[in-house]
Structure 1
Amino acid sequence: MQCDGLVAVVTGGGSGIGNACVRAFLAAGARVGVLDLDVSELPADPRVRAVRADVADRQSLTAALASVAEAFGGIDILVNNAAISAVGTVEQNDDEQWSRVLDVNVSGVARTSAVALPYLRRSPSAAIVNISSIAATTGLPKRALYSASKGAVHALTLAMAADLVTEGVRVNCVAPGTVDTPWVARLLAGAADPTAEKRQLAARQPTGRLVTADEVAAAVVYLASPATGSVTGTSLAVDGGMSGLRLPAPVPPAPAAPGSGA
């Protein structure tokens, strides 16, 4: 999946999945605009334009995207990756949390896309890839707010794809399972037993391990590449089979027969 000569913009590209996307696009031949609240750790590279931006602030997005477009001559691909987490049931997240998470995770996707569209419409290879989650379609415990936000991203992806298909702008999303990133590491750090909690997260995916950020990034580049020009309105699961597989539970060993000496 090559993106030679194209310009991709990745929100939240300073770490985790976003940073893996930046590296994957560079490997595919693209130049990359990285938008994040902290871009200080990104290495200097003439193929990368790192700009501090907040997806909750339209003014900062407008300035950041203009900076990338000026530096590289346009924008062809937008990856809406920036998001924040939330843990809890509907009783445990307060109104302020609901407002903040939905503003970043959902309105942030719409806001960034709206600012980027004037540039994307000029590209013959325009594509938007949103980062959703397995939580959009699978009920997970204590993820009410986060799941609601990612369910909205899934629905928004389909609506955007319908609105933009006649303008030559493809819109898809990737739905990762639990990904081994610094974000997940921070969540695990708050658990009573982080090691046991990580084993439990890995075990709920049929592959028996966490998804890697590079695997998610490969799916993003696949959907953004001109080679998939007929793919739009699609959610691609990268979840170790979690959304589609129902494996039988392990069968416990039979009890030893009386008098067997076992």
Structure 2
Amino acid sequence: MSAKLFDLSGRLALVTGSSRGLGNTLARGLAAAGADLVLHGRDADRVRREAAAIAGDYGVKVSTTLFDVTDRDGAARALDGVLDTVGVPDILVNNAGIQSRAPFNEIEAKNWDAVLATNLSSVFYVSQPITRRMAERGSGKVVNIGSVVTLLARQTVVPYTAAKGGVAMLSKGMAADLARFNVQVNTISPGYFASEMNTALINDPEFDAWVKARTPAQRWGDFEELVGALIFLASDASSFVSGQNIFVDGGMTSVV
């Protein structure tokens, strides 16, 4: 198989939540494969700094967009600006997400609403304006970021579990409707990764031990280990792959 299948040179990628954390790692992985970027966040200074850093590191074009992914109208306005001035992305990565932990009987409605809006509804808000234009063009790649909780459940994260389960099925529904336009939609579902969101869990000896015992690889993942799956799903190598949920979890979902 030619390495050119994985070459993203000349492609344009928009990654939500890409000024920090996982989204930043994914954006940098796409840039390393040759893609130009639209970096997204809400902190204007941070987004600009990261855009300049990535452009300098990889020699690609990096544009920026600022909006709250839970604001349907605000997202639509910002994305119209991207589409009109930068162009129609070839690759969309829906990465933005938050977490809220509480036992089911103690979940506050406002936290339920926030997690569902950020992790699930935003995928619809951001994707639809872009996939309409992808469909008109006749090509596109959408990669939604899920979680092992698209398949499994764990105590105290019911809103997140519901949202990420929804993301996996939303990807399948999008794939069913968009495949005829040569737009592929898939999900990448990480296991437990050493991240800012998981700092408290990493520093909890009991939970750290549970993760390592529950994961056949016996360790937390590193964000860089998600880049390969993303490049595959964003490239021509996956031209007949759609509606799939790829678990990058050290084997966690493969064992009892």
Is the pair's TM-score, using the shorter chain for normalization, greater than 0.5?
yes
RMSD over aligned Cα, in angstroms?
1.8
- CA displacement at 1:121 relative to structure 2: 2.1
**Equivalent position amino acid for 1:213 in 2:** F
Alignment CA distance shift 1:201-1:31 (3 Å)? same
* CA deviation profile, 1:165-201 (whole Å, cap 9, x unmatched): 112111100011011111111x438xxx634433332
Deviation at residue 240 of structure 1 after TM alignment: 0.4
The residue that corresponds to 1:198 in the other structure is 208
Higher deviation after alignment, 59-68 or 103-112: 59-68
Q: Distance in 1 between matches of 2:107 and 2:129?
A: 30
Deviation at 1:52, TM superposition (A): 1.5
Picking from 9, 14, 19, the partner of 1:4 is 9
Secondary structure of the 2:97 match is: coil
Partner of 1:107: 121
Contact 1:21–1:218, Cα closer than 8 Å, also in 2: no
Asked whether the equivalents of residues 131 and 140 of structure 2 are also in contact (C-alpha less than 8 Å), the reply is: no
1:233 is the counterpart of 2:243: yes
3-state SS in 1 of match to 2:45? coil
Q: 1:34 aligns with which of 30, 34, 39?
A: 39
CA contact (8 A) 2:51 2:64 kept: no
Paired residue type of 2:65 = V
Task: Give the Å deviation of 1:143.
Answer: 1.6
Q: How many residues align?
A: 242
| Structure 1 residues 204-261: Cα deviation after superposition (integer angstroms, max 9, x where no partner) | 2110111111112321221111221000010000000000134xxxxxxxxxxxxxxx
Structure 2 CA distance for partners of 1:133 and 1:194, relative to 1, 3 Å: same
- The reply to whether residue 215 of structure 1 matches residue 215 of structure 2 is no
Contact 2:51 2:63 in 1 (8 A): no
**One-letter identity of the residue aligned with 1:201:** V
Distance 1:108 1:136 in 2: 17
Aligned pairs for 1:61-210 (under 5 A) are 61-185=75-199, 187-188=200-201, 194-210=204-220
CA distance in 2, matches of 1:80, 1:43: 18
> Could you tell me the percent identity over the aligned residues?
32
Contact 2:115–2:160 under 8 Å retained in 1: yes
AA aligned to 1:237 is F
Contact residue 128 and residue 171 of structure 1 kept, 8 A: yes
**For 1:36 and 1:82, how far apart are their aligned partners in 2?**
9
Most deviating of 230-239 and 81-90: 81-90
Cα drift, residue 124 of structure 1: 4.5
Matching residue's letter, 2:19: G
Judging changes above 3 Å, is the alpha-carbon distance between structure 1 residues 145 and 73 closer, same or farther for their aligned structure 2 residues? closer
Query: How far off its partner does 1:63 sit?
Result: 3.2
Could you list the per-position Cα deviations for residues 5-28 of structure 1 after superposition, in whole angstroms to 9, with x for gaps in the alignment?
111110111112111110011011
Runs of 4+ in structure 1 off by over 4 angstroms are: none
Q: Distance in 2 between matches of 1:30 and 1:135?
A: 30
Which deviates more, 163-172 or 71-80? 71-80
Change (3 A) 1:209 1:123: farther
CA displacement, residues 31-84 of structure 1 (integer Å, 9 cap, x when unaligned): 111121225331412621122111111233223323433443321111111111
Question: In the alignment, is the contact (CA less than 8 A) between 2:211 and 2:220 conserved in 1?
Answer: yes
1:103 and 1:26 map into 2 onto residues whose CA distance is 28
| Residue of structure 2 equivalent to 1:259 | none
Query: Unaligned regions of 5+ residues in structure 1, if any?
Result: 247-262
Partner-residue secondary structure (3-state), 1:91: helix
Gaps of 5+ in 2: 1-5
